[in-house]
Amino acid sequence: MSSGGGTVTDNRRQSGYLPMLAEGAHQDVDLALLASNAQSSAQMGLEALLLRDRDSPISGMSFTACQDALTANSKKLTACIKSVHDTLMEGSDPTKATPKLVKDIAESTEHLILLLETVADIVFLLLSKGQGCKAPQKSLIDHYILVRARLAIRIAIEHVEASASKPPTVMAALAVISTHLEALRDACDTAAEKTRNDLLKAQIKGCSRALGGTAAAFVASVKHYVAHPGEDTLERVLLFTKPLKASVDALVAFALQDDAFYGSAGFFSPAVRKYVKPIQAAGVSLVSGSTLFFSTIKTLLSQPSSADARAALSKYMAAVDVHLSQLTSAVRSAYSADLMA
């Protein structure tokens, strides 16, 4: 079963913004802030990938390839979650294990997002190719690419703005920002090429140019700071973070609110919907369990000896494992039902 086309993106790089940030910063990242970033990422995935049906594929993978990706990322998410749990439960000061915790938290978030993207692709395949279903009409711009880029840029800027930012952290943030600014510009260029509305074309190009100008000023200030680190050069970097966020927010808000950017929704036949619902429900439960796990990390970081927090961390680790099994089972059932026309 194939996806019937679609553009394959460098999704590992775009979805792995937290590992990119953590690795580039040499693991010198605030753990509580990272846990909050993980929560925000899970919520973004829930809203953009599970609570609305997509009108185009993310990866262009076949159903079989999606199953393989689901299995691989499930195993990796389980391993990362368990590693975080075991490190925090050791009883020692968790801040002493910061490099390992940073890596595991960042990678668990990446694998969760990749899982949700795969679930969204599976649902899209069933919607576009399922028996008795009506395929959606593709929108001018992929709204998920926009909200993912907006969150990744916001998170990167948060780490730049955090106290005692160091050159490696700022450079790592710049790498994340550059990756997602490129994704935003590519989305704008594609939409501008497709639209026949002259006003919309002009507005899209205007937003893209404004974003490019602000980004160029930010990049120049970062390079100057790295070459000459100090409070004055860091202040110049921070001077451009607010206008950069504002430019990104304006572009995304414009694209999300203008009906001209939207395609038309498809619909599921009852026979296919019966198999889609358990997949989406398991995905929602997985996000819930993961979010609670990340929230408990913050509690344990501030209260390392809290017995309640330790019990909750074990509870939510087990919940993530259960929901992953439910998700895998639901996808397997849909595949076995041979629902594709």
Residue 98 counted as domain residue: yes
Residue 55 lies in a domain: yes
Would you state the torsion angle of the CA atoms of residues 234, 240, 242, 244, taken in this order, to the nearest 10 degrees? -130
Residue 145 lies in a domain: no
Give mean pLDDT in consecutive 10-residue pieces for the chain, a chain of 341 residues: 38 79 85 95 96 89 95 97 93 70 95 97 96 92 93 95 82 93 90 88 86 89 92 91 92 82 89 97 98 96 90 98 98 95 73
Q: What is the pLDDT of residue 276?
A: 97
User: Domain with 39 in it: what CATH number?
Assistant: 1.20.1420.10
Query: Quick one: 92 and 130 in the same domain?
Result: yes
Q: Are residues 282 and 134 in the same domain?
A: yes
Residue 152 resides in a domain: no
Query: How many domains would you assign to the chain?
Result: 2
Residue 146 lies in a domain: no
Confidence (pLDDT) at 197 = 87
Beta bridge partners of residue 137, listed in sequence order? 264
- The domain in which residue 178 lies consists of 158-262
Q: How far apart are CA 129 and CA 106, in angstroms?
A: 35
pLDDT value of residue 6: 36
The pTM of the whole model exceeds 0.85: yes
Let me know whether 201 and 336 are in one domain.
Answer: no
- Contact indicator for 287, 280 with CB cutoff of 8 Å: no
> What contacts 18, CB < 8 A, 6 or more positions away?
34, 37, 38, 41, 105, 106, 107, 109, 110, 155
